[in-house]
Amino acid sequence: MIPYGRQSVDEDDVRAVVEVLRGAWLTTGPNVELFERSVAAAAGARHAIAVSNGTAALHCIMHALGVGSGDEVIGPAITFVATANAAVFEGATPIFADVDADTLTIDPRSVEARITPRTKAIVGVDYAGHPCDWDALRAVASKHGLPLIADGCHALGASSKGAPVGAIAAMTAFSFHPVKHVTTGEGGAVVTDDDALAQKLRLFRAHGIATDHRTRELKGTFLYEMIGLGYNYRICDIQCALGASQMKKLEGWVERRRAIAARYRSTLPAIAGLEVLRDRDDSKNAYHLFVVKVPAGIDRAAVHRRLRELGIAANVHYMPVHLHPFYRERFGTGEGLCPTAEREWERILSIPMYPAMTDGDVDAVVAALKTAIG
Ligand SMILES: Cc1ncc(COP(=O)(O)O)c(C=O)c1O
């Protein structure tokens, strides 16, 4: 079965992890810092705060912004649920903006139409690895004096007008789940240029306690103070050794993803009615996913099923968040809120995309898709 996404782990990665297992620090140790430095450099930011997963990264961001009860946070309807959930964790109301039909990234006009006096922040998601229209979003955010946040969980290695994704918003979240560009098993990070926000993020990651165990040990002190309320969102040294080793391969893997995308783009037009998402000229897509739209009138579920029979595990990213039972029940959302997202999601299918795919795999996916669509 060719999966829709898969990690690549080599012997260097294995060695890096084993070395940590033989050493003194399993939880926060030198590899956490090493990994943070490489993520910050790749993302174009001064600080990276590594955490236990991308969801925790988004939660840290909401907390650092001071999002709370009575606030509204605007994000796209098409994303993983965690983008919206992070605002809910802090007692705020997520507001769903519609998406652009060609890229499925948040539509800045829809964002502006949803701004109220309660709006606290705008969150753009670089869906599938394609940067949002950040210039237009920044214009809306500046006009209304709102912070701009990026959920870059799909987009490590992507850039917009030459700026890496982590260098655009006030804070950017990344995920290191195995299907992402690099993996730590589970893991995430927030990047920012802002020293004060970085400090808040570090505190929230570790119980609101200012010094970690290792720092105290190195300084020979047992004293610590809790200066705010925080979670245990730490990532461990074992994971970060894997992450730091994986980061060395990021650039090559993103290039391979782009080559796979180019092959899809040159061969998929042979399937009548099938559409691919558009890449804007000013952006460099990191291709976490490769999303196609099945021809209008074709049953997507049947295509998905036939692909499985042919050995291709496609997937769907995502059902609009406002259509999930939790959001309908808690926030009264439902059909009609984001018409473009609701229309387009019925047609989308994520076909295999990961660096270890061979050109032969890509051609096999295209052939299977042709058969499945019929
Ligand atoms: C857009 C988006 N945001 C947030 C997350 C959450 O990341 P994690 O699974 O690491 O918690 C994901 C994960 O798939 C995602 O795709």
Over residues 164-195, the pLDDT tens digits come to 999 999 999 999 999 999 999 999 999 999 99
289, 4 in Cβ contact below 8 A?
yes
Q: How many other C-beta atoms are found inside a 10 Å radius of the C-beta of residue 259?
A: 15
**85 Cα: distance to centroid of ligand 1 (angstroms):** 11
The arithmetic mean of pLDDT across residues 327-355, rounded, is 98
State what percent of residues in the chain have pLDDT above 90.
96
C-beta of 177 in contact with ligand 1 (< 6 A):
yes
Cα separation, 175 vs 51, in Å, equals 9
pLDDT at 236 over 90: yes
CA dihedral 302, 98, 120, 173 (to 10 degrees): 40
Enumerate the active-site residues. Answer: 180
pLDDT at 230 over 90: yes
C-beta of 183 in contact with ligand 1 (< 6 A):
no
Cα separation, 6 vs 179, in Å, equals 5
**217 Cα: distance to centroid of ligand 1 (angstroms):** 34
The residue ranking higher by pLDDT, 220 or 189, is: 189
The ligand 1 atom at the shortest distance from the C-alpha of residue 288 is: 16
Cα separation, 135 vs 111, in Å, equals 13
Confidence of residue 116 (pLDDT cuts 50, 70, 90): very high
**79 Cα: distance to centroid of ligand 1 (angstroms):** 9
Cα separation, 317 vs 347, in Å, equals 11
The arithmetic mean of pLDDT across residues 51-66, rounded, is 98
DSSP 3-state assignment of 92? coil
Confidence of residue 259 (pLDDT cuts 50, 70, 90): very high
**153 Cα: distance to centroid of ligand 1 (angstroms):** 6
**55 Cα: distance to centroid of ligand 1 (angstroms):** 6
The ligand 1 atom at the shortest distance from the C-alpha of residue 188 is: 10
What is the per-residue pLDDT across 290-318, written as a single tens digit (0 to 9) for each?
999 999 999 999 999 999 999 999 999 99
Query: What is the identity of the amino acid at 360?
Result: G
Cα separation, 76 vs 203, in Å, equals 28
Residue from 7, 55, 184 whose mutation best tests the ligand 1 pocket (most atoms within 8 A of CB): 55
Confidence of residue 216 (pLDDT cuts 50, 70, 90): confident
The arithmetic mean of pLDDT across residues 235-256, rounded, is 98
Residue from 80, 85, 130, 172 whose mutation best tests the ligand 1 pocket (most atoms within 8 A of CB): 80
Does a cis peptide bond (omega within 30 degrees of 0) precede residue 354? no
Q: From 129, 213, 174, select the one nearest 36 (Cα to Cα).
A: 174
Enter the pTM of the model: 0.98
C-beta of 239 in contact with ligand 1 (< 6 A):
no
DSSP letters of 132-185? P-HHHHHHHHHHTT--EEEE-TT-TT-EETTEEGGGTSSEEEEE--TTSSS--S
Strand (E) or helix (H) holding 283? strand 283-284
C-beta of 175 in contact with ligand 1 (< 6 A):
yes
